[in-house]
Amino acid sequence: MSESAEFTIRVHDRIAEIGRGAWDACAAPTGDPFVGYDFLHACEASSSAVPKQGWAPRHLTLRDSEDHVRGAMPLYLKGHSQGEYVFDHNWADAYERAGGRYYPKLLGAVPFTPATGPRLLTHPSIQAETGRAVLVQGALALTEQIGVSSLHVNFPLETEWSAMGKVGMLLRQDMQFVWTNAGYAGFDDFLAALSSNRRKTIRRERREAQAGLDIRVLTGSDLTEDHWDAFFAFYMDTGSRKWGRPYLTRDFFSLVGETMADRIALVMAFREGTPIAGALNFIGRDALYGRQWGALEEVPFLHFELCYYQAIEFAIARGLSRVEAGAQGEHKMARGYLPTVVYSAHHIADPALRRPVADYLAREREGVEAEIAAMTAEYSPYRSVGTDC
């Protein structure tokens, strides 16, 4: 599609066209579970992220003079803004009221996954900075070539975000809540870092959530199709109540169970042998990523137990540096998860839309930074240095 002195960009409408070996030669060194071939292929092969659902793959590969893949970028032609977790619905509404056509647009992201990670994947044999620059230029060129309104890259690494800003993309910030492992030896060690009131509250919540239940963390060969059947029922119930139409199909869970079992931690709660609730996590090289949760029985504090406390215990046991528990949720602060900046970058083709969006984002960035500072100062559950309680 486009060329530099050394590389050519090619566009693909299926990740299977690229192949696991070529894709993962660029993705696997990152240690991120979501940009790997198996996760992205599961999204497509399960009909979760496909054109009829408004997710048409337009993945980019960076190729050298011998046609070897030396870089990749997960990219989609989107017919809506659902399943992205970076909200641009107001931009779309304003543009279309003014007579423009916002959709389709291009999106560089992992479907249905608000987790920070690499979006510009490069092979170890090339200079990463060069490869990333060519991939960004390729995505911008594709935006112009097919005549869409915009290009958006959601939840990139900060270094990628800064690089995209240098080529003129608009920079956006938001926040998520992340638990950080300060070298804790166990959950009690983590509790000791909290204020006395928070320690007491968490212990009470855990006692009430665990009462009468058998809670297990399933990974690897422990995962079975029966577990996925149960979890899908939880997921469908929660999804239908929260946003109307769950994004992921039942086949998605079987596919990731087959290909990513060692990178999955499925927390399940059983009452007398019957599963009643579950929380799905993916294991990265240095982080645990909380994704979906659901329950068929109302149990006080069970959401906190399965999604937050069990995740912390697992991360400590595995020596992981953090737990990323997904989008939104100020209630996470009381459970030890602190606000952290997340990023997105945006190219708006029409100056009539670009100008007001740029002004809005400048104000929004200031507001996000101020809100994070204020929330941390006022609501952090951790003990102040030098205090005994």
Q: How would DSSP label each residue in 193-237?
A: TB-HHHHHHHHHHHHHHHTT-EEEEE-GGG--HHHHHHHHHHHHH
| Residue 3 clears pLDDT 50, i.e. is over it | no
Q: Which residue, 147, 142, 164, is CA-closest to 61?
A: 142
The pLDDT value given to residue 239: 64
In a domain, 381, yes or no: no
Residues 227 and 282 in one domain: yes
Give the number of domains in the chain: 2
> 92 vs 242, which has greater pLDDT?
92
**C-alpha triplet 68, 168, 153: angle, nearest 5°:** 60
- pLDDT value at position 329? 82
298: domain CATH number is 3.40.630.30
From 286, 322, 309, 113, select the one nearest 217 (Cα to Cα).
309
Res 327: pLDDT: 82
Find the radius of gyration of the CA atoms of the chain: 22
pLDDT digits (tens, 9 = 90+) for 76-96: 999 999 999 999 999 999 999
pTM for the predicted model, two decimal places: 0.95
Same domain, 312 and 194: yes
User: Is the domain of 161 the same as that of 17?
Assistant: yes
**In the prediction, which pLDDT does 6 show?**
85
Q: Does residue 195 sit in the same domain as residue 304?
A: yes
Same-domain pairing of 167 and 197: no
pLDDT tens-digit readout, 283-332: 999 999 999 999 999 999 999 999 999 999 999 999 999 999 988 788 99
What is the reported pLDDT for 241? 59
Are 251 and 106 found together in one domain?
no
Residue 75 lies in a domain: yes
Residues 163 and 191 in one domain: no
Task: Give pLDDT, residue 384.
Answer: 75
Residues 162 and 250 grouped into a single domain? no
Q: What spatial distance separates the first Cα and last Cα of the chain, rounded to whole Å?
A: 62
The H or E element spanning position 143 is helix 128-146
* 326 found inside a domain: no
* Residues 277 and 187 both lie in one domain: yes
Q: pLDDT tens-digit profile of 134-174?
A: 999 999 999 999 999 999 999 999 999 999 999 999 999 99
**pLDDT, tens only, 100-120:** 999 999 999 999 999 999 999
Which residues does residue 154 pair with via DSSP β-bridges, in sequence order?
Answer: 344
Which helix or strand (DSSP H or E) is residue 63 part of?
Answer: strand 59-63
- Whether 24 and 108 have beta carbons less than 8 Å apart is answered as no
Whether the Cβ atoms of residue 177 and residue 333 lie closer than 8 Å to each other: yes
Look-up of token digits 């230029």: 137
17 shares its domain with 147: yes
Which domain, by its residues, includes 356? Answer: 2-174+341-376
Residues 144 and 206 in one domain: no
Band (2; pLDDT cuts 50, 70, 90):
very low
The pLDDT assigned to 330 comes to 87
Report yes or no on 220 lying in a domain. yes
When the pLDDT of each residue in the chain is averaged and rounded to a whole number, the result is: 95
Q: What is the pLDDT of residue 242?
A: 57
C-alpha distances out from residue 315 to 24, 218, 270, 324, 330, Å: 25, 14, 22, 11, 21
The verdict on 10 and 140 lying in the same domain is yes
Query: Among 318, 342, 321, 339, which residue's Cα sits nearest to residue 330?
Result: 339
**For the residues 230-239, what does the mean pLDDT come to?**
90
pLDDT band at 389 (very low <50, low <70, confident <90, very high): very low
